[in-house]
């Protein structure tokens, strides 16, 4: 059996460990021939791939990024579409696909699979917003990096008695902000799922200032200030007038300063939290997911995705993973407030 592997969407730490897990199990143990398409669907469309064997994956687990490259190219265009992908895979002699990606990628995987193209999903994203699995690899590393940033911001914030605002990634789900904020002891944690008013944010900042000297605010990039969506969007336009993600931290810090009189500074962590060496947890999760995907291919369990349930790695139907997001539930958000009142 010839299996094609690809990575699509934003990269994250752990991708290489997942590829290695699938290849060592698939090629060495199950006897597959495996190839890796370069830059996601672009490689499928343009016919660019590399052979994946033991030598290709030797020593790659600790490496960030992906040896296969990635892109946000979608195959579901009028020019390509499901039939175009079917034809390409037939041309390359590929019997099945392992698609490593987040929500967008697994949505495509489901469409292909429903159309009879044998596909297995392998979930990844630093945002941890993919449904059907408890955690995605990449998340733990991003949280570690964001936590270290908080630890560092705290000492400089306390020295100067400033309000430090850290913006982390998380467009639709605030898992990174929630976990890093809790691990780093941030007193204000702002998530895309729960709008807050500027009055409320400033009330929290002022109570921390009076009690703890230097407030630390962690804000996810998708957070919206209640009643101020318009202003925030305007402030978040890039040089070409397009809405820019990643602007909320820089919008919030001056507003806090203006309203509370407390000197405030913003740091946008950006892609630092997506690059570099994966944590041991992410390497283990990614390796296990890779092994599970190869086993599922051998068993003909197409149309499924490798998911973590508690400590168990299980295959779930792709339909369970797509069409909805794993967002932060209210009780997890309220838990943070229980620390600070």
Cβ contact 218:269 at 8 Å: no
Instruction: Decide if residue 328 touches ligand F6P (CB under 6 A).
Output: no
Min separation Cβ 39 and ligand F6P, Å: 13
Instruction: Decide if residue 14 touches ligand F6P (CB under 6 A).
Output: no
Give the residue with the Cβ less far from ligand F6P, 21 or 102.
102
160: which DSSP letter? H
Cβ contact 194:246 at 8 Å: no
Give the residue with the Cβ less far from ligand F6P, 221 or 282.
221
CA–CA separation, 11 vs 126, rounded Å?
A: 8
Strands ordered across the beta sheet of 264-268: 188-190, 216-220, 163-168, 264-268
171: which DSSP letter? S
Q: Which residues contact 341 (CB under 8 A, 6 or more apart)?
A: none
249 by Cβ neighbours in 10 Å (0-12 / 13-18 / 19+) ranks as buried
Task: Please confirm, yes or no, whether 127 is among the known catalytic residues.
Answer: yes
Cβ contact 167:177 at 8 Å: no
From 39, 53, 95, 127, active-site residue: 127
Residue 162 assigned to a binding site: yes
Q: Is the dihedral of CA 38, 324, 76, 306 positive or negative?
A: positive
Instruction: Decide if residue 167 touches ligand F6P (CB under 6 A).
Output: no
Give the residue with the Cβ less far from ligand F6P, 10 or 278.
10
Residue window 240-269: x/- pattern of binding to ligand F6P, with contact defined by CB under 6 A = -----x------------------------
Instruction: Decide if residue 154 touches ligand F6P (CB under 6 A).
Output: no
Give the residue with the Cβ less far from ligand F6P, 10 or 36.
10
CA–CA separation, 280 vs 288, rounded Å?
A: 12
Neighbours of 78 (CB within 10 A): 6
Instruction: Decide if residue 215 touches ligand F6P (CB under 6 A).
Output: no
Min separation Cβ 170 and ligand F6P, Å: 5
Instruction: Decide if residue 282 touches ligand F6P (CB under 6 A).
Output: no
Instruction: Decide if residue 170 touches ligand F6P (CB under 6 A).
Output: yes
Residue window 93-132: x/- pattern of binding to ligand F6P, with contact defined by CB under 6 A = ---------x----------------------xxx-----
- 123: closest CA among 296, 7, 41? 7
Min separation Cβ 126 and ligand F6P, Å: 5
Q: How is residue 133 written in tokens?
A: 């699995």
Pick from 42, 110, 274, 283 the residue near ligand F6P by CB under 6 A: 274
Q: Binding site for Mg(2+), residues? A: 103
**Contact residues: ligand F6P, CB under 6 A:** 10, 102, 125-127, 169-171, 221, 245, 274
Point out the residues that are catalytic. Answer: 127
């Amino acid at each position: 059996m010839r299996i094609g592997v690809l990575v699509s969407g934003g990269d994250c730490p752990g991708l290489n460990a997942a590829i290695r897990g699938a290849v060592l199990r698939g090629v060495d143990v199950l006897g597959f021939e495996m190839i890796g398409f370069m830059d996601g669907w672009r490689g499928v469309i343009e016919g660019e791939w590399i052979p994946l064997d033991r030598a290709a994956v030797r020593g790659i687990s600790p490496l960030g990024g992906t040896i296969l490259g990635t892109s946000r190219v979608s195959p579901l265009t009028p020019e390509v579409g499901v039939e175009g992908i079917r034809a390409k895979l037939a041309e390359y002699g590929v019997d099945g696909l392992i698609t490593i990606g987040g929500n967008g990628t697994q949505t495509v995987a489901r469409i292909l699979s429903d159309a009879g193209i044998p596909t297995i999903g392998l979930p990844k994203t630093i945002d941890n917003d993919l449904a059907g699995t408890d955690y995605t690899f990449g998340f733990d590393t991003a949280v570690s990096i964001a936590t270290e940033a908080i630890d560092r911001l705290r000492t400089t914030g306390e020295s100067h008695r400033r309000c430090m605002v850290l913006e982390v990634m998380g467009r639709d789900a605030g898992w990174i902000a929630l976990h890093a904020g809790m691990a780093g002891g941030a007193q204000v944690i702002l998530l895309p799922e729960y709008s807050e008013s500027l009055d409320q944010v400033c009330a929290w900042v002022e109570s921390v200032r009076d009690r703890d000297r230097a407030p630390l605010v962690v804000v996810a990039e998708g957070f919206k200030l209640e009643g101020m969506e318009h202003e925030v969007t305007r402030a978040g336009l890039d040089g070409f007038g397009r809405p820019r993600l990643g602007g909320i931290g820089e919008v919030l810090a001056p507003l806090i300063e203006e309203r509370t009189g407390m000197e405030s500074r913003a740091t946008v962590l950006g892609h630092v939290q997506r690059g570099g060496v994966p944590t041991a947890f992410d390497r283990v999760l990614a390796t296990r997911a890779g092994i599970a995907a190869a086993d599922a291919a051998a068993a003909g369990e197409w149309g499924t995705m490798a998911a973590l349930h508690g400590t168990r790695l299980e295959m779930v139907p792709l339909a369970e993973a797509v069409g909805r997001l794993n967002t932060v539930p209210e009780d997890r958000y309220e838990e943070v407030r229980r620390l600070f009142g």
